[in-house]
Amino acid sequence: MKTSKLFFIATLSVLAGVASGADPATDAATIRKTLGGVTPDSIEPTPVDGIYEVSVGSHIVYLTADGRYMFQGELIDMLKRESLTEPRRRQMVKKRLAAVSENDMIIYEPDKTRHTITVFTDIDCGYCRKLHNEMQAYMDAGIRVRYMFFPRAGKNSVSWKKAEAVWCAKDRKAAMTAAKNSQTLEMKTCQNPLDEHMQLVNELGARGTPFIVLEDGETQPGYLPAAQMAQLLDRIASR
């Protein structure tokens, strides 16, 4: 049973004391009013009477029908011994990434694609460089790598400017490799997707780099060698 680090168990006695509203539409309206300036992407009933799943980006919380009580964490089906939250979270991540055009990514394509991962990378991150130096091994394993930028030092930092220079280069892949190897870049500026990438980083709750999103929306917070990544992706595909 997979759970997040932030773990919450709502006891049956508490849940039993939560009365549902007149109907889901009415309850959803009440919850939206309670949330004030926060606009949820969805408000869905859960299997627990009177408890609603509220998603904002890839973040999921639970509210009572009257909007008064909220909890954050995993909703778990104890009979099936499985999380109801994690599959929904992965769906939200996949949906959010699907809205990003691949024209706004730097993509490394193997001869034959078996799996695709999305990697949020920082030019100056040591493990990001380690991953990039294994790019040929990823290609040999049939793993398609979609790069997006996550300069952790923030906007207008040195890492941000390097990322912008890579994006603005005539040959982005060659510039990425040069940047990862501390070679001199032509520090160009141009229209780029860095702001959008960083907005997505915040929505996904990414903290470290490389931050990797797998095909099913599961996230891998850190570097894995190509062989281990291929094994992980094969396991996911066989579920």
Summarised one tens digit per residue, pLDDT across range 192-220 is 999 999 999 998 888 899 999 999 999 99
Active site residue 190: no
Active site residue 168: no
Listed by start position, the domains of the chain span 12-97, 100-237
DSSP letter string over 6-73?
S-----HHHHHTPPP-S-HHHHHHHHHHHHTT---SEEEE-SSTTEEEEEETTEEEEEETTS--EE-S
pLDDT tens-place string over residues 149-177: 999 999 999 999 999 999 999 999 999 99
CATH architecture group of domain 100-237: 3-Layer(aba) Sandwich (3.40)
- Answer whether 142's CB lies under 8 Å from 114's CB: yes
Q: Catalytic residue among 88, 89, 122, 144, which?
A: 122
Task: Look at residue 239 in the predicted model and tell me its pLDDT.
Answer: 81
For domain 12-97, give its CATH number from 1.10.4030.10, 3.40.50.300, 1.10.530.10, 3.10.450.70: 3.10.450.70
- Helix axes 158-168 and 172-180, enclosed angle (nearest 10): 150
Q: Catalytic residue among 88, 90, 124, 128, which?
A: 128
| pTM listed for this prediction | 0.81
Q: Catalytic residue among 89, 144, 146, 152, which?
A: 152
| Segments of the chain with pLDDT less than 50 | 1-20
